[in-house]
Amino acid sequence: MQRSRKRKQISSSLKPLRTTASCRSQPAEDPYSDHPRPTFEECRSVRDDLLFLHGFPQEFVKYREQRLQMGLRESQILPNSGECGENESVLDGLIRIVLSQNTTEVNSERAFGNLKCAFPTWEQVLAAESKGIEDAIRCAGLAPTKSSCIKNLLSCLLQKKGKLCMEYLRELSIEEIKAELSHFKGIGPKTLQKDDFPVDTHVFQISKTMGWVPASAEIKKTYLHLNQRIPDELKFDLNCLLYTHGKACKRCSNRNDGGLKKETGDRHCPLLAYRNHRAAEK
């Protein structure tokens, strides 16, 4: 597939999110291990094509910048002591991340300050009425959702560890941290900035249409297969772009249309070429 000079410039400006060899955990079993696609080159090409078409989705820019700037251990989840003028706990850092979702840094920091002012300890937050927490963090947006997430996190932590403290995470490896935090409701892959490739309905349908998984593939097995085939350094960008494309190009993710169409609104859909590639293999 030919690319324009402009798209090459966009692609060359992207730095890898993380190196592949050093960051992989012990691989899970691939249910479609005999299915050779997608290849590394194909993943990179699709990422570049969708990036040129859509630009990088604004709703994920903040998380992408965080990934480019720091690794998991240096992120908010394991904050350094002395940050914000005092020793900040791991739990503080995780609550900050919850509050930062879908809002600006200024608003999330103000919400965290309001929360700590209203309820100086996490024990007080857990004991508080949801309405009081919502009022404190309202400037960060999605107050009911974030309040519920915080309460669930604290409740689960108390039940699991007997106290509201997550300092034990500092002694764990990065993969162990990911596994531990995945047990808490509301703390998902994008929150954790982990090298993961979630599969929603848009990603699932497009992957099947392009032939990245067998036509009879199941969504859970698709998740396992794609996380084995897609390089870690491409997972975040590619997932965000496929999700965005699936929403913007309804024909691509329509399970009733029999496959990709030629147009994305008024623009040519670049994924048509990959469908043609699949057809040529048959």
Q: Over 50: is that where the pLDDT of 98 sits?
A: yes
| Average of per-residue pLDDT across 254-264 | 46
Higher pLDDT, 186 or 216: 216
Residue pair 164/92 in contact (Cβ under 8 Å)? The answer is no
Q: Over 60: is that where the pLDDT of 260 sits?
A: no
Superfamily for the 72-192 domain: Hypothetical protein; domain 2 (1.10.340.30)
Instruction: Write down the mean pLDDT value for the chain.
Output: 75
Catalytic, 190? Answer yes
Q: Over 60: is that where the pLDDT of 16 sits?
A: no
pLDDT of residue 222: 94
pLDDT of residue 9: 36
Q: Whose structure tokens read 């497009």?
A: 206
Highest-confidence segment of 55-59, 99-103, 215-219 = 215-219
Task: Choose the catalytic residue: 62, 116, 190, 261.
Answer: 190
Higher pLDDT, 252 or 227: 227
Picking from 77-86, 90-99, 120-129, which range would have the lowest pLDDT averaged per residue? 77-86
Higher pLDDT, 119 or 168: 119
| Average of per-residue pLDDT across 62-69 | 60
- SS3 letters across the chain: CCCCHHHHHHHHCCCCCCCHHHHCCCCCCCCCCCCCCCCHHHHHHHHHHHHHHHCCCHHHHHHHHHHHHCCCCCCCCCCCCCHHHCCCCHHHHHHHHHHHCCCCHHHHHHHHHHHHHHCCCHHHHHHCCHHHHHHHHHHHCCHHHHHHHHHHHHHHHHHHHCCCCCHHHHHCCHHHHHHHHCCCCCCCHHHHCCCCCCCCHHHHHHHHHHCCCCCCCCHHHHHHHHHHHCCHHHHHHHHHHHHHHHHHCHHHHCCCCCCCCCEECCEECCCHHHHHHHHHHC
Give, in words, the CATH class of 34-59+195-281. Answer: mainly alpha
- The torsion defined by the Cα of 104, 105, 106 and 112, in degrees rounded to 10, comes to 110
Q: Write the burial class of residue 95 (CB in 10 Å: 0-12 exposed, 13-18 middle, 19+ buried).
A: buried
pLDDT of residue 278: 55
pLDDT one-digit tens code per residue, 147-165:
999 999 999 999 989 999 9
Q: How confident is the model at residue 225 (pLDDT cuts 50, 70, 90)?
A: very high
Residue pair 184/157 in contact (Cβ under 8 Å)? The answer is yes
User: Using CA atoms, how far apart are residues 49 and 269, in angstroms rounded to an integer?
Assistant: 9
Give the rounded percent of residues in the chain with a pLDDT score beyond 90.
Answer: 33
Q: Write the burial class of residue 66 (CB in 10 Å: 0-12 exposed, 13-18 middle, 19+ buried).
A: middle
Q: How confident is the model at residue 138 (pLDDT cuts 50, 70, 90)?
A: very high
The domains of the chain are located at: 34-59+195-281, 72-192
pTM, rounded to two decimals: 0.50
Q: Over 90: is that where the pLDDT of 38 sits?
A: yes
| Average of per-residue pLDDT across 252-273 | 58
Q: Over 70: is that where the pLDDT of 259 sits?
A: no
Residue 42: partners with Cβ closer than 8 Å, 6 or more residues away: 274
User: Using CA atoms, how far apart are residues 172 and 65, in angstroms rounded to an integer?
Assistant: 25
Higher pLDDT, 279 or 275: 275
Q: Over 60: is that where the pLDDT of 84 sits?
A: no
